[in-house]
Amino acid sequence: MSLDKLLATIKSYTEEANIDLVKEAYYLAKESHEGQYRVSGEPFVSHPVQVAQIMAELELDIISISAALLHDVVEDTEVTTEELREKFGPEIELLVNGVTKLSKIDFKSREEHQAESLRKMFLAMAKDIRVILIKLADRLHNMRTLQYLPREKQIRKATETLEIYAPLAHRLGISTLKWELEDLSFRYLEPDRYYEVAKKIAKNRAEREAYIEEAIKRLNTKLTEVDIEADIYGRPKHLYSIYQKMIKGGKEFNEIYDLTALRVIVSSVKECYQVLGIIHELWSPMPGRIKDYVAMPKSNMYQSLHTTVIGSKGEPLEIQIRTWEMHRTAEYGIAAHWRYKEGNRKDEDFERKISWLRQLLEWQKDLSDAKEFMENLKIDLFED
Ligand code: GDP
């Protein structure tokens, strides 16, 4: 059943893909993991299938998805890398090997552990970024099933996720993975705060939604007048980012107003700026809150115009304006460049966009001391 779902997801974005390869990968995974179980009691193969499902939801290529299905066979079963190469070719062999190597890191102190695993990840990434995408998807599924593990292990995994995997997803611009990894870590690390924030958000939801609906209507009317076609919608903010805002600003929950942000998607850069002007005519902008990440993209390639305005009830309303292309990059980041395409997967654009990664690698190669590396990496990886 889960195989059917996976195949249906793949077919939803590509019709001509080699589905047989995915099926073959699935059957080998199922057969070789036979008799193994997850802590949840499910047959082990459910894990690689779910990891492959996450990859397919990022609309990745067939090779990545097949490798995700096979990502644990070399480590946990009798299947050898030679066998993988023979049956599935060198690309899948390289990806599975990369993931296997990453999971074999022997950690010492926590700091070393962090530095080492990041270093290894960057090295793996230089070979093929898809190794990291599989690793991130693997971690996401493990986080989604964390309830089956003992408390101590939950804390260790959630901490590691918050310190390593979520920042990595952020750096690669894959916000869909980043938000979920953060919220899941938050839930296990600070359950009381997590449920408190979740409950409070639920409380005024209807009222907030009505307020956003009204703003959308007003903006839509204006945009229709000037013939700009736009997709406008309210976007609930993520729990961890709300919590961060509370901590950083030393605020209580009821002091955080912008729990919902408005997003406007248009067809061209020119329209982004036109929409910004129209919004500022409708509502007063808050000083210091206008950010032009269109002209000045973030290092993870994120682009959008940001503004916060004073809405009709005197409450701040956060608005993001972007084109469809920018939206794709904002949601999928680097993964957008590995999406299923016929032929030219390694396009120039992609190479240009990971050049910062290669630079980072070049620079860290000279650093032998893990701690020093960590100190340097912190600057680059954890700060915007
Ligand atoms: P700023 O203060 O306007 O620069 O932006 P913040 O850092 O407060 O982010 C505001 C919102 O913009 C976030 O909640 C995200 O929705 C979005 N955002 C900011 N940076 C990124 C990014 O790198 N990737 C994605 N996908 N969204 C981002």
pLDDT attached to residue 23 = 97
- Domain end marker among 163, 189, 215: 189
- Domain end marker among 189, 213, 235: 189
- My answer on whether 175 and 61 are in the same domain is yes
**What's the pLDDT tens digit per position in 316-347?**
899 999 999 999 989 998 787 766 554 444 55
Q: Which of 54-68, 244-258, 278-292, 347-361 has the lowest mean pLDDT?
A: 347-361
Catalytic one of 31, 34, 42, 75: 75
Residue 81 has pLDDT above 80, yes or no: yes
In angstroms, the CA 21 to CA 119 distance is 32
Nearest CA to ligand 1 atom 10: 306
Nearest CA to ligand 1 atom 25: 330
pLDDT attached to residue 140 = 98
Nearest CA among 60, 46, 62 for reference residue 3? 46
Mean pLDDT of 117-128: 67
* Residue 83 is among the residues annotated as catalytic for this protein: no
203: confidence class by pLDDT, cuts 50, 70, 90: confident
Residue 211 has pLDDT above 60, yes or no: yes
pLDDT attached to residue 309 = 95
- My answer on whether 136 and 241 are in the same domain is no
Residue with tokens 């980041």: 333
- My answer on whether 92 and 57 are in the same domain is yes
In angstroms, the CA 139 to CA 178 distance is 11
Structural domain count of the chain: 2
Cβ of 291 closer than 6 Å to ligand 1, yes or no, is yes
Q: Which residue among 304, 307, 309 has the greatest number of ligand 1 atoms within 8 angstroms of its CB, and so is best to mutate?
A: 304
* Residue 75 is among the residues annotated as catalytic for this protein: yes
- My answer on whether 47 and 165 are in the same domain is yes
Nearest CA among 308, 273, 304 for reference residue 288? 308
Residue 209 has pLDDT above 80, yes or no: yes
What tokens does 14 get?
């590509």
What residues make up the domain containing 227?
204-330
- My answer on whether 154 and 246 are in the same domain is no
Mean pLDDT of 166-177: 88
Q: Which residue among 306, 318, 321, 334 has the greatest number of ligand 1 atoms within 8 angstroms of its CB, and so is best to mutate?
A: 306
- My answer on whether 32 and 135 are in the same domain is yes
Cβ of 300 closer than 6 Å to ligand 1, yes or no, is yes
Is the reported ipTM for this assembly greater than 0.85? yes
317 C-alpha vs ligand 1 centroid, how far in Å?
14
Catalytic one of 24, 76, 83, 380: 76
Cβ of 330 closer than 6 Å to ligand 1, yes or no, is yes
Query: 175 has which bridge partners?
Result: none
Nearest CA to ligand 1 atom 19: 302
**What's the pLDDT tens digit per position in 93-117?**
999 998 888 776 554 445 556 666 6
The secondary element (H helix, E strand) that includes residue 317 is strand 316-323
Residue 181 has pLDDT above 70, yes or no: yes
Q: Which residue among 176, 237, 320, 384 has the greatest number of ligand 1 atoms within 8 angstroms of its CB, and so is best to mutate?
A: 320
363: confidence class by pLDDT, cuts 50, 70, 90: very low
